[in-house]
Amino acid sequence: MTGWLRFAPILLLVLIVAAMLWRLANPPDTTVHSQMIGKPVPQFALAAAVPGVQGLSSAQLADGKPKLVHFFASWCVPCIGEAPVLDQLKKQGLTIEGIAIRDRPDELAGFLARNGDPFDRIGSDPESKTQLAFGSSGVPETFVVDGRGVIRLQHIGAIEPNEIAAIRAAVEQAR
């Protein structure tokens, strides 16, 4: 075998081991992030999820004010723990729109009664279509949408109390 070619496999080994070491030091992140950041909100018009609270449409997300769009469900366990945080954000003047995934009106009403209702409107997404259109992959997730209806941030999972400031900052930036 010609000279340098004989050492090529070793070079390959070095590259592979380097890649493996990198991976061992940076474990795979299995959360799926939405690629819709910076893009306009997808068009949708969702019916009311609970009687007495309006449904949600994409047009309402481009009314000049930045908002939070919160994907949740009555069967979502971490959403219960997150409720006080959402209340806080609402008290601090943020507008929170809700999209309920795969939910029934009666169970949703019960959930809101037990955990509080910080939502201005709640759209019903019984087959996750709007969730898919947003690039969301589970509940709870929160999107920051600016006044022109462009998605600016995705927060995956429940918002922790120590993240309230960051969310507020993101909404400020979105003005």
Q: How far is the CB of 158 from another protein (least distance, A)?
A: 8
Q: Does 22 bind another protein (CB under 8 A)?
A: yes
Question: By CB under 8 A, what part of segment 124-163 binds another protein?
Answer: 126-129, 132-135, 137-139, 156-157
Q: Which is nearer to another protein, 5 or 113 (CB)?
A: 5
Binding mask 90-129 for another protein (x = CB under 8 A): -----------xxxx---------------------xxxx
Helix (H, G, I), strand (E, B) or coil at 136: coil
User: What is the size of the binding site for another protein (CB under 8 A)?
Assistant: 46
38 binds another protein (CB under 8 A): no
Query: Cα separation of 118 and 169, whole Å?
Result: 19
Instruction: State how far the Cα of 41 lies from the Cα of 79, in Å rounded to an integer.
Output: 23
User: For the chain, how are helix, strand and coil distributed in percent, rounded to 5?
Assistant: 40, 20, 40
- Closest to 48 measured CA to CA, from 118, 126, 110, 117: 126
Q: How far is the CB of 105 from another protein (least distance, A)?
A: 12
Place of tokens 């009311």: 48
- Out of 45, 47, 59, 77, which residue is the one contacting another protein (CB under 8 A)? 77
Does residue 35 bind another protein (CB under 8 A)?
Answer: yes
49 part of the interface to another protein, by CB under 8 A: no
Shortest distance (Å) from residue 37 CB to another protein: 11
From the list 62, 64, 128, the residue with the least C-alpha distance to 99 is 128
Residue 91 backbone dihedrals phi, psi, to 5 degrees: -65, -30
**Residue 68 and residue 167 in contact, taking contact as beta carbons nearer than 8 Å:** yes
Quick one: which of 120, 112, 115 has its CA closest to 93?
A: 120
Interacting residue ranges for another protein, rule: CB under 8 A? 1, 5-7, 9-10, 13, 16-17, 19-24, 26-28, 30, 32-36, 73, 75-78, 101-104, 126-129, 132-135, 137-139, 156-157
